[in-house]
Structure 1
């Protein structure tokens, strides 16, 4: 895999968003909802059917649903959600879901409502790496948006140049 290609795709995707400052999770979500023409709902999941699940993006008949596993911190939760946003931004295709798979996550929801999901079996393929790099770029934008101009530097490089 060529990481320079993945980095370039992530940079191009971020630039194409033309996000207005200040950038926040909510502003990115609102931007995506507007661009996609549908609501995005983000919810935690307590008990996942597998221990390998961090975040899932489901396309329901009327909205996009992002589910995230319990995170160790708010920063970790943000990264999981930004990763799923990145898949949307990069236009990574979802797969049609079988009714059995849909019932695994939505036992009380009619299976016809769960239309598609982005499922992955390899966390080191180009799609996943590019999505993670874009999520990192978006997280950096959020941090920069809320940095106070007169705040103390956060590292020695900022102090000593």
Structure 2
């Protein structure tokens, strides 16, 4: 094929190819980063809280919520499905539990990734922009708010990649433990 249409197709392939290479590089760096963390074996991303607290020397509170459109006092539609909110002494990770457990864990992994990479976002949200999530936290103590947004921003893409790799770690931990538990010799030796 020649002419303008062939040129458009080649240009499209080149752009996709560049994006693919950039994504591959983010994945490579992210895998190396996760390997260096020396994560403990866990059954859930939620079980990484003690590791995260130890790493940062700060308290981390998981804040599950379930939006209820029928409840006027429930979160409104502007609430993010996941969010990291930091005060001077505590990190709060909000996540929607009105979805599958697997999806909720992906959200928490994404927020943990922001914490691990020390992402700060571009524009912190004001307490009025949080869809009712922080009613129990004094807004004047909030130092950072980072919620799930579009993934075309580099920090969001990186957090999504790292969150996926944290989930992969959980899967690997479960598989290793299942293999070990099914092996009678390993069970005997590892008692």
Q: Shorter-chain TM-score category?
A: 0.7 to 0.9
Shift of 1:151: 9.1
Unpaired runs of 5+ in structure 1?
Answer: 153-161
1:21 has 2:41 as partner: yes
1:6 deviation in Å? 1.4
User: Out of 125, 131, 154, which is 2:159 matched to?
Assistant: 131
How many matched pairs?
A: 152
Query: What is the aligned counterpart of 1:41 among 38, 61, 67?
Result: 61
Return the structure number with greater helix share: 2
Work out which of the residue numbers 103, 107, 110 in structure 2 matches 1:76: 103
Q: CA RMSD in A?
A: 2.7
Q: 1:12 aligns with which of 14, 21, 32?
A: 32
Q: Which runs of 5+ in 2 are unaligned?
A: 1-18, 68-74, 183-191
* Shift, 1:49, TM fit: 3.2
User: Relative to structure 1, is the Cα distance of residues 104 and 5 closer, same or farther in structure 2, using a 3 angstrom cutoff?
Assistant: same
Instruction: Give the corresponding residue for 2:143.
Output: 115
Task: Choose which of 81, 93, 105 in structure 1 pairs with 2:120.
Answer: 93
Asked which structure has the greater RCO (Cα within 8 Å, sep 6+), the reply is 1
TM (norm. structure 1) is 0.78
* Separation of aligned partners in 2, 1:138 and 1:109: 28
Match of 2:169 in 1: 141
Contact 1:10 1:131 (8 Å CA) reproduced:
no
Scaled by the length of structure 2, what TM-score is found? Answer: 0.67
Tell me the CA shift for residue 20 of structure 1.
3.3
TM superposition shift of 1:18: 1.3
Of the two, which has the highest radius of gyration? 2
